[in-house]
């Protein structure tokens, strides 16, 4: 826990102050987080403070104090023994967003170390950890010894949050999830950054999604979240920038778990690279390399990224990471042998000629969940084999009867249900829409808005 904490303050008085719109002191925040971690603060009191913050927001000083107190509620990793910069990326979540699987090995192949602590699927969005769990034998939640061995040996490790990393966030998030207080920018900010700070990073790049497949559907909400994350992280001592990227269509042509791993392997080996996915991966990689001090410009970062993809080093790093964490040693060469497959494949046929003009991306994610590839309840098991591939992007031309996508399901009934949802999610028109950029905007340390309270709808 943090040293020099102020004497404990009654939690009900802290709740009262925030209920009445007052700013909390660092001592009050530290006291509440200590009670949250130890269990001395009740679930009802946590929920009450969460709701007060939801409606009244927090200023930047409060958000920084909350983030640091939650960081210090458990272990803080130390990578000072590594012979290179330590960096990471965080995405706010999307559909067909398997960026981490390529990004970590690409950046590691360029000389950085990437201890990537990832999460499971949430709602309609996929989870990096669920994708990695589709690899047979892969230990997605190793002990610290194996985690460190993998980071040192491969340059990166994609794993899940350990029990001792920001435990205050685990309890707070679980209560927010069932009390309708998830969508609070200060609480989202503290939740994301407390874990990243506890991971011992030297720099961080954020991928903040916006669109009909993102948690932030409106541009102003995505910008407010990105600004909050960048400013709070930098004030907490973590060099951070953010890219706002579009989630108005699936990022990859695959959505699911094993199917997204296969897509990532194909990307790394050059067998297939989806255009929008490549745009986002290269932009984030260049940004991470710049923040880590390994390149002097975005252009140089793009060049280095292209080199390690072209010469196979990024693919080698991914294969080494998988092997060190218990997976097959030849996954890169023989992914078809190891990744689980669903029994039924069903094409989703277009009902008319034309161009794909829009996609209800959230509905694509929900179709994966309905197939069993996500969770309706936190304790649900995930079927790693099911999913959707060959998703046509916006702007693609299609004829009536041709496939919009390919469903992978356990039985015909589930496949037909998913196919119906996917068909309804696609809009087809006579005019080809203009291509939209996948990377919309960059926010750096000089991009802050003025310090103020930030509720969700800012």
Tokens 């990096």 belong to 128
> Does residue 389 have an active-site annotation?
no
Question: Nearest-CA neighbor of 104 among 96, 114, 94?
Answer: 114
Q: Check 89, 124, 170, 209 and give the catalytic one.
A: 89
User: Is 186 within 8 Å of 168 (Cβ atoms)?
Assistant: no
- How far is 278 from 251, CA to CA, in rounded Å? 9
> Does residue 191 have an active-site annotation?
yes
Give the Å distances, CA to CA, from 406 to 345, 367, 452: 7, 12, 47
Strand partners, 348: 405
Q: Check 90, 131, 320, 384 and give the catalytic one.
A: 90
> Does residue 89 have an active-site annotation?
yes
Strand partners, 91: 207
> Does residue 195 have an active-site annotation?
yes
**Ramachandran angles phi, psi of 96, nearest 5°:** 65, 30
> Does residue 128 have an active-site annotation?
yes
Strand partners, 256: 387
Q: Check 60, 195, 235, 408 and give the catalytic one.
A: 195
Q: Check 170, 171, 176, 235 and give the catalytic one.
A: 176
- How far is 98 from 103, CA to CA, in rounded Å? 9
- How far is 162 from 148, CA to CA, in rounded Å? 13
- Number of neighbours of residue 128 by Cβ within 10 angstroms: 27
Q: Check 171, 196, 276, 362 and give the catalytic one.
A: 196
> Does residue 457 have an active-site annotation?
no
- How far is 317 from 197, CA to CA, in rounded Å? 25
According to DSSP, residue 113 is labeled B
Q: Check 191, 245, 246, 269 and give the catalytic one.
A: 191
Element containing residue 391 per DSSP (H, E): none
- How far is 278 from 179, CA to CA, in rounded Å? 38
- From first CA to last CA, the distance across the chain in angstroms is 32
Alpha carbon of residue 72 to chain centroid: 22
Give the Å distances, CA to CA, from 408 to 134, 223, 376, 389: 15, 36, 19, 8
Report the chain's C-alpha Rg in angstroms.
22
| Residue 207 in tokens | 């991928």
> Does residue 450 have an active-site annotation?
no
Q: Check 9, 26, 87, 91 and give the catalytic one.
A: 91
Q: Check 37, 67, 88, 389 and give the catalytic one.
A: 88
User: Is 47 within 8 Å of 18 (Cβ atoms)?
Assistant: no
Alpha-carbon dihedral sign for residues 13, 15, 20, 24: positive
Q: Exposed/middle/buried for 275, CB within 10 Å: 0-12, 13-18, 19+?
A: exposed
- How far is 276 from 241, CA to CA, in rounded Å? 21
Catalytic residue numbers read 88-91, 128, 176, 191, 195-196
């Amino acid at each position: 826990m943090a040293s020099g904490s102020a004497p404990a303050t009654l939690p009900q008085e802290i709740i009262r102050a925030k209920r009445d719109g007052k700013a909390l002191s660092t001592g009050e925040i530290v006291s509440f987080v200590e009670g949250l971690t130890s269990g001395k603060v009740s679930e009802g009191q946590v929920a009450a403070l969460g709701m007060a913050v939801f409606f009244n927001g927090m200023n930047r000083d409060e958000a920084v104090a909350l983030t640091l107190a939650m960081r210090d509620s458990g272990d803080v990793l130390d990578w000072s023994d590594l012979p290179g910069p330590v960096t990471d990326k965080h995405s706010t979540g999307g559909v067909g967003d398997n960026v981490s699987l390529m990004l970590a090995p690409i950046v590691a192949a360029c000389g950085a170390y990437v201890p990537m602590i990832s999460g499971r699927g949430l709602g309609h969005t996929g989870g990096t950890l669920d994708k990695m769990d589709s690899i047979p034998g892969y230990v997605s939640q190793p002990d610290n010894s194996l985690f460190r061995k993998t980071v040192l040996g491969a340059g990166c490790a994609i794993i899940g949050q350990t029990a001792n990393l920001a435990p205050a966030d685990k309890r707070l998030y679980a209560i927010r999830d069932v009390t309708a207080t998830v969508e609070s920018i200060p609480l989202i900010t503290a939740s994301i950054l407390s874990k990243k700070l506890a991971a011992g990073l030297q720099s961080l790049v954020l991928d903040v999604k916006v669109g009909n497949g993102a948690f932030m559907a409106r541009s102003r909400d995505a910008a407010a979240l990105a600004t909050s994350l960048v400013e709070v992280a930098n004030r907490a001592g973590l060099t951070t920038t953010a890219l706002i990227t579009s989630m108005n269509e699936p990022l990859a042509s695959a959505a699911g778990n094993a199917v997204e791993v296969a897509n990532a392997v194909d990307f790394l080996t050059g067998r297939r690279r989806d255009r929008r996915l490549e745009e986002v991966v290269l932009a984030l990689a260049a940004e991470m390399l710049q923040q880590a001090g390994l390149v002097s410009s975005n252009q140089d970062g793009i060049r280095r990224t292209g080199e390690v993809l072209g010469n196979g080093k990024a693919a080698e790093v991914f294969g080494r990471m998988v092997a060190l964490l218990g997976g097959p040693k030849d996954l890169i060469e023989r992914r078809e042998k190891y990744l689980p497959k669903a029994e039924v494949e069903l094409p989703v046929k277009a009902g008319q000629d034309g161009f794909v003009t829009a996609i209800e991306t959230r509905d694509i994610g929900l179709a994966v969940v309905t197939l069993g590839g996500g969770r309706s309840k936190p304790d649900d098991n995930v079927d790693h084999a099911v999913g959707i591939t060959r998703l046509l992007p916006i702007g693609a031309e299609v004829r009536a009867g041709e496939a919009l996508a390919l469903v992978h399901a356990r039985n015909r009934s589930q496949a037909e249900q998913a196919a119906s949802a996917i068909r309804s999610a696609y809009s087809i028109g006579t005019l080809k829409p203009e291509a939209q950029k996948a990377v919309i905007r960059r926010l750096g340390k000089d991009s802050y808005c003025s310090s103020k309270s930030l509720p969700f709808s800012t």
